[in-house]
């Protein structure tokens, strides 16, 4: 049982004039309208620090909070391995199944919570999907954080992944540049997928091994859009094997799967960047699990 959590937001223009219950049921569709009504009636939904009423009319700039009581989190692998630790950086190996950051019903059962028990100053630079394993980088000082984020923004960070995909790509090496952006989702409201109006995204793919009905590929991503590799491999006709969310073409599968649902095989193998203190090249690698190694 965790200690509960207070979710907060500031009402923006889209919420102006809406009734509170209508706003919550529409914006946070992961919970039903009757569930939100019960929460409001029990006094755990606050407007500007005071218990709210369902028919309260919202105004831009108001503070909205939900005091979520403690809950039992689903079991996940509660472990990580340290790959690199110095004054500025911490790189760890995340197991598949462990969320990187809080969300989706997870708070204490996350990599961030585990890491901060030993390294309370650590701040994650990026995140991996729950089902993705491999290298996650943290910074340990504000200056390191500023410099690493600048390198990330300037595309001086190289990220290499291994993935198991459906079928056999016809080319050994190719690039996918399908734009990625939010699309409607029946439960969450929206998730990222292939989207003509989305943001530019680039992945470079190399086939490492062709197997029966599937292929092992190496993917280098220039951009870091949410679920980029899963979307791009689906967009080029070769979704990750076992991916419940993305269909051929890069859109969503039918059935309402969630981004955190597992089943696919994806591993963050290598991260290369200039060290934030010395500027010298730094490479961190995490060995892939057997199914994601050539010959595995």
pLDDT digits over 59-117, tens only?
999 999 999 999 999 999 999 999 999 999 999 999 999 999 998 889 999 999 999 99
Q: What is the CATH number of domain 155-264?
A: 3.30.2350.10
Q: What is the CATH number of domain 5-68?
A: 3.10.290.10
pLDDT digits over 234-290, tens only?
999 999 999 999 999 999 998 889 999 999 999 999 999 999 999 999 999 999 999
Same fold, 5-68 and 155-264: no
Integer Cα distance of 296 and 162 in angstroms: 12
CATH level 3 topology of 73-154: Pseudouridine synthase (3.30.2350)
pLDDT digits over 145-161, tens only?
999 999 999 999 999 99
Sheet holding 50-51, edge to edge: 5-10, 63-68, 45-47, 50-51
Domain ranges of the chain: 5-68, 73-154, 155-264
Mean pLDDT of 205-218: 97
Contact assessment for residue 186 and residue 224, using Cβ atoms and an 8 Å cutoff: no
pTM of the prediction? 0.88
Is residue 169's pLDDT more than 80? yes
Phi, psi of 163 (to 5 degrees): -145, 150
Distances (CA, A) of 149 to 135, 157, 253: 16, 9, 33
């Amino acid at each position: 049982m965790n200690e509960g959590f207070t979710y907060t937001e500031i009402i923006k223009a889209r919420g102006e004039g809406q009734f509170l219950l209508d706003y919550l049921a529409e914006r946070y569709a992961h919970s039903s309208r009757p569930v939100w009504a019960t929460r409001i009636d029990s006094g755990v939904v606050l407007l500007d620090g005071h218990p709210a009423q369902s028919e309260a009319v919202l105004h831009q700039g108001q503070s909205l909070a939900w005091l979520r009581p403690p809950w039992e989190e689903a079991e996940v692998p509660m472990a990580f391995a340290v790959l690199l630790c110095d004054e500025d950086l911490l790189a760890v190996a995340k197991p598949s199944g462990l969320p990187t950051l809080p969300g989706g019903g997870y708070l204490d059962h996350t990599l961030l919570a585990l890491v901060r028990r030993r390294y309370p100053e650590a701040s994650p630079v990026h995140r991996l999907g729950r089902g993705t394993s491999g290298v996650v980088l943290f910074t340990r000082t504000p200056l390191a954080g500023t410099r690493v984020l600048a390198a990330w923004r300037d595309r001086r960070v190289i990220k290499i992944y291994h993935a198991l995909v459906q079928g056999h790509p016809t080319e050994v090496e190719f690039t996918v540049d399908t734009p990625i952006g939010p699309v409607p989702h029946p439960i969450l409201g929206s998730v990222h997928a292939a989207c003509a109006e989305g943001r530019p995204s680039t992945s470079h793919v190399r086939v490492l091994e062709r197997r029966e009905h599937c292929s092992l590929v190496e993917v280098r991503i220039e951009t870091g859009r949410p679920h980029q590799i899963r979307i791009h491999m689906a967009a080029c006709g070769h979704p990750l094997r076992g991916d419940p969310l993305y269909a051929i073409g890069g859109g969503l599968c039918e059935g309402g799967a969630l981004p955190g649902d597992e089943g696919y095989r994806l591993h963050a193998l290598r991260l290369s960047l200039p060290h934030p203190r010395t500027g010298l090249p730094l490479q961190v690698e995490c060995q892939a699990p057997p199914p994601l190694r050539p010959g595995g």
